[in-house]
Structure 1
Amino acid sequence: MIPVAVTPEVDLAHLWSLVLHAAGIRHSLRHGEAGLQLLVSEENSARAREELRLFAEENRNWPPERAARVEREAIVEKAPIVLPVMGGLAVFHAITGGWESNSHWFAGGVLDRALVVSDGQWWRLITALTLHADSVHLLGNIFFGGILVYCLCRHLGIGIAWFSLLLTGVIANAINVFFHDDPYHSIGFSTAVFGMVGMLSGMRLRRIGGWQEMVLALGSAAGLLALLGSSGERTDLGAHFWGVTVGLLVGMILVSLGLAGKRALAPGRQWLLFAGSLATVFGSWLYALYSPWKGW
């Protein structure tokens, strides 16, 4: 038996072994000073080398560099903290109650077009994201939102993910208000949930590219919008549509700026940005409840 190939990589050695096994060439692997040696009989050595050469030539550019780069850079944070924030939404709903309660929380925080446009009550673009009409509304947003924000945090990091999510929800609410007539009222985290659908689709579209990926990304976003966001008595289709649309743009911008799929910020700065996003929500509620010119 003579060596026809040697490598220190165990996986590559076993791959060579599979190639020769598929070609019907008897062989063995043996540990040597330089690594694992692939041994064959002398009469089969030329054939074995040719099989390995053809295998290497056929797989020279595999996996494609673009796909390998995407896979390598995809995960930023392996175990992001999502449950406490989703739990916070549930606790907040227990405090505020549903829309029928007519509490001061809804009076000060609901997205009211007339008050936003005429009185400049900008905080409602943010506070409305944290209010829910009832428990069913809340649980749907927590379930789907929790899954989506977990994926988003893994690709962006906890700070960039929550900041982008909040920004997307606010912009989508603002556009939706602009295109509605009075009276118009809206509440719920679902605008941000569909914003995350758009962001994940936009990130995939911009990072991988190609018309197939464009169809897949846009089709998946449109499919989820049609399946989950276009039916129901209280469904705000405009909020969901603008959430997806703004999310697509934000996702593509994040990839263009190099903020997706890589550690663009140190962990400390990610947590600082996350804390700043939470502080923005808390600050908006303080303004809604205690502002002297809140107008209600």
Structure 2
Amino acid sequence: MAESDGCNATVAGGRRAANGEGYLPPPGWRPVNDPLGTGGDWLPLSRAESRVWSLVLASRGIPYRQRKVGGGRLLLVPESLFIEARRQLELYRLENRDWPPPLPESRPLPENQLATLAVFGLLCAFSFLIELPAARDWLPRVNWQIAGSARAGLILDGQWWRTATALTLHTGGLHLAGNVVFGILTVGWLARELGSGPAWLLVLLAGMGGNWLNALLQAPAHDAVGASTAVFAAVGLIAGLNLVRYRRPLWRRWALPLAAALGLLAMLGAGDGRTDLGAHLFGLLTGLVFGVVAAWGHERHGRPGPWLNRLLALAAAGIMALAWWLAIRS
């Protein structure tokens, strides 16, 4: 029955007795987990409790020794410091009695996945139509890829609409399918959490912000297309929401969404040589900032009502329509 000492010394001996677990501490030492402070029976500590109490005593410079007894542990302190040790442990208990605070209450989320599926369905239809030869007779006669791509030099020259139009263009079916699948998962969650209108407006603005920031750091000839910037913006929005929601519980709880977002960027955002890592990174970071702001607004004002939700959805659709109108005219 080995003992450990907070002062890195070995406890000598120890006397057997008929009370408690049949163990008496060495002379001059006393169990700090003696519930009544009488030296009679004591309450065994769990391993976790013993570790925490040991850290409290060590931080106050109070020597301690541990002993495994039965199914628990004893924590011994010098008799001369018994009262001070008990006082420090009580102070620790009072300071931490409400820690960690309870997690936010879960609430039922609305079933609005149909709107999310409809938007991604429109994206697929648009991507199909602009490549369909038969549709060229009634669509505007433009090269959609050239007119709407996120060419860095043109964006910085004032063609801001390219930060939006590039989100609707893709290089092929596989590129489109990947963004649609991950988009349904991420934007779908946001739409249920915030409402479809706020979710789509935030995803669009964060995606546009990611493309604009990327243009600042790229060569003027740099060109990119794809909804992946908006998808990573949605991931950043989710992380930002959870950073605020779990800011009071243990740091591991609110750091987890951020770590997951960075892990997703590392796994999916780096890809091959054609993958625009900068756009993915800036989409993620922009979404993170927007998510923190949205979370504060959500906590203060709650979910938007039906009319505001529709207004925000129309605003997102209006921004995209205006962007493509300007792209076609230019």
TM-score, reference length from structure 1: 0.70
2 CA distance for matches of 1:233 and 1:86? 26
Residue matched to 1:111: 150
**Which of residues 265, 285, 305 in structure 2 aligns to 1:225?**
265
CA 1:259–1:235 in 2, change beyond 3 Å: closer, same or farther? farther
What SS does the aligned partner of 2:170 have?
A: coil
Q: Which whole-Å CA distance do the structure 1 matches of 2:229 and 2:145 have between them?
A: 17
Aligned position for 1:96: 130
- Cα distance in 2, alignment partners of residues 71 and 270 from structure 1: 22
Please name the residue that 1:283 is paired with. 322
Larger radius of gyration: 2
Contact 1:76 1:156 in 2 (8 A): no
> Are residues 1:71 and 2:106 paired?
yes
Match of 2:199 among 161, 164, 178: 161
> Does the 8 A contact of 1:196 with 1:244 survive in 2?
yes
State whether residues 66 and 208 of structure 1, in contact with CA within 8 Å, keep that contact through their aligned partners in structure 2: no
Name the counterpart of 1:121.
159
Q: Distance in 2 between matches of 1:94 and 1:217?
A: 35
Kept in 2, the 8 Å contact 1:191–1:243? The answer is yes
Provide the C-alpha distance between the structure 2 equivalents of 1:151 and 1:225, rounded to a whole number of angstroms: 18
- Aligned-pair CA distance for 1:213: 2.2
Unmatched tracts of structure 2, length 5 or more: 1-96, 133-140
User: Secondary structure, in 3 states, of the residue corresponding to 2:171?
Assistant: coil
Letter in structure 1 aligned against 2:130: T
Residues 142, 328 of structure 2: 8 Å contact kept: no
Aligned to 1:145: 183
Counterpart AA for 2:127: H
Report deviation, 1:103.
5.7
Where do 1:24-103 residues align within 5 Å? 66-67=102-103, 69-72=104-107, 75-80=108-113, 81-97=115-131
Distance 2:235 2:218 in 1: 23
Q: 1:204-283 to 2 correspondence within 5 Å?
A: 204-209=242-247, 210-258=250-298, 263-283=302-322
Query: What is the 5 A alignment of 1:150-189?
Result: 150-189=188-227
Aligned-residue offset at 1:237: 0.4
Whichever residue aligns with residue 78 of structure 1, its letter is: E
Shift of residue 245, structure 1, vs aligned partner: 1.0
Match of 1:26? none
**Which residue of the partner structure matches residue 130 of structure 1?**
168
Q: Which runs of 5+ in 1 are unaligned?
A: 1-60
Q: What stretches of structure 1 move > 6 A for 4+ residues in a row? A: none
Query: What is the count of residue pairs matched by the alignment?
Result: 223
Aligned-pair Cα RMSD in Å: 2.4
Three-state SS of the structure 2 residue aligned to 1:121 is coil
